[in-house]
Amino acid sequence: MLQIIFLKKIGRVYTFPTISLFTDLLLFITSSITINWIGENITKNVYVDDISEEEIYFRKLNNFEHNIDYKFEYLFSIIIFCLLYKVMDMI
């Protein structure tokens, strides 16, 4: 409702969301899921009492190495599709 009032004040008419809005939303959601998943899995079982910063660093590297696999291919394929559609829409 507030958006419609604002659009009237600036002289624009409300338009329904386009497919580009949905692809942007899908990109945002998949990126958020990916970043959250990576962050949680890298820091899993890393912080234990009485270990050095170097040991924490190597544990994070080990977790990163074990968690990067084919699961990202699905998320990246969604992201690539949305970006290609976005470029086609701009052209």
pLDDT one-digit tens code per residue, 14-42: 566 666 777 778 878 888 888 888 888 88
45: left (phi over 0), alpha (psi -120 to 50) or beta: left
Q: By percentage, how much of the chain surpasses pLDDT 70? A: 75
Q: Is residue 61 part of a domain?
A: yes
Does any domain span residue 5? no
- pTM score: 0.54
9 in a domain, yes or no? no
Is there a domain that residue 24 lies in?
yes
Domain membership flag for residue 36? yes
Residue 71 lies in a domain: yes
Total number of domains in the chain:
1
| Residue span of the structural domain in which 65 resides | 17-90
Return contacts of 75-83, CB within 8 angstroms, 24+ apart: 75/30, 75/33, 75/34, 78/26, 78/30, 79/27, 79/30, 79/31, 82/23, 82/24, 82/26, 82/27, 83/27
Does 38 reside within a domain? yes
7 part of a folded domain: no
